[in-house]
Structure formats: C-alpha cells, structure tokens
C-alpha cells in the first residue's frame, strides 16, 4: 500500500514538472500612469467631455480600458479605450452625472505572446488611478 502511494506521488510530481515548462516564459510588469487633462462643457447640448492620457510603454498605452468615476455620488461617468497615443476621452450629458470630484482608473492589461501555442512572453500592464480632479 505504501509503495502504491509513493508511486502515485512520484507520477503526480513528474506530470507537474512536465506541465511547468510549457507554461514558462518571461514575465514583465510595466507601470502605467493615467491622468485627467481637463474637461469642456457644451451648454446648448448639455454635454461634458473629459480628456486625458495613459502613460506607459507603447504596448501598454494602446487599447487600455479607462473608467471615469464621479466620487461624491458615486457613479461611473463613462468607460472608454485609449488610442495608440494613449489619449482618451469620455463624453456624457450633464443631467446624468453631477459636477464634483472625478477620478480616472486604467485597468490592468495582460499581453501574451505565443510561439507554436507556447507562451513565450507575458507583459502585465499595471492598473493605475489618477489624482482626484475637481470639476465644479
């Protein structure tokens, strides 16, 4: 009985070692910075447009999900994706979101490079939150 348990444990360890190299690859963590550059208000249409940028390396700037939150209510004012340059903008009507303090949040993004079905490199673009922006 003891011999069967040892053989079973050895088989599991061997299987685990066989799987580990297939998942191996270089892992890089990249910092990100999100900022709110400003906002504009269009009175006749009652629309507010916030704009800002995501700062990081080229891979981590493009296509990042940016969430703009109004902090007092709290409500999500809008969600968008950054352009290749890292610039983003969110537009909403003034009736939907009251004035106040806002914060932009850029979510984590994982970029996986594969070669022949095997993970070669994994880039992790870190999450960030902007400083509070007063839009009264």
For the entire predicted model, the pTM comes to 0.79
Q: What is the pLDDT of residue 3?
A: 53
Does residue 60 contact residue 32 with C-beta atoms inside 8 Å?
yes
Contacts of 22 (CB under 8 A, 6+ apart): 118, 119
Distance (Å, whole) CA 72 – CA 6: 60
Q: What is the pLDDT of residue 94?
A: 87
Q: What is the pLDDT of residue 136?
A: 82
| Helix or strand (DSSP H, E) at 130 | none
Question: Which residue(s) pair with 53 in the sheet?
Answer: 35, 87
> What are the residue boundaries of the structural domains of the chain, listed by start?
25-135
Cα 105–chain centre separation: 8
Q: What is the pLDDT of residue 17?
A: 44
Which whole-number Å values give the CA distances from 51 to 20, 27, 128, 135, in the listed order? 44, 32, 16, 12
Per-residue pLDDT of the chain (136 residues; tens, 9 = 90+): 455 544 455 554 454 444 444 456 799 999 999 999 999 999 999 999 999 999 999 999 999 999 999 999 989 999 999 999 999 999 999 888 999 999 999 999 999 999 998 999 999 999 999 999 999 8
| Helix or strand (DSSP H, E) at 128 | strand 128-129
Distance (Å, whole) CA 107 – CA 23: 24
Q: Provide the CATH number for the domain formed by 25-135 in this structure.
A: 2.60.40.10
Q: What is the pLDDT of residue 19?
A: 44
């Amino acid at each position: 009985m003891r011999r069967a348990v040892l053989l079973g444990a050895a088989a599991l360890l061997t299987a685990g070692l066989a799987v580990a190299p297939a998942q191996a690859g270089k892992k890089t963590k990249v910092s990100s910075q999100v900022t709110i550059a400003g906002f504009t208000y269009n009175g006749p249409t009652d629309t507010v447009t916030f704009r800002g940028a995501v700062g990081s390396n080229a891979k981590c700037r493009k296509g990042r999900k940016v969430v703009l939150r109004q902090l007092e209510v709290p409500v999500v004012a809008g969600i968008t994706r950054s352009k290749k340059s890292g610039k983003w903008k969110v537009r909403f009507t003034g009736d939907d979101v009251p004035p106040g303090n806002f914060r932009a949040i850029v979510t984590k993004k994982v970029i996986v490079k594969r070669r022949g079905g095997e993970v070669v490199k994994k880039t992790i673009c870190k999450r960030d939150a902007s400083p509070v922006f007063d839009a009264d």
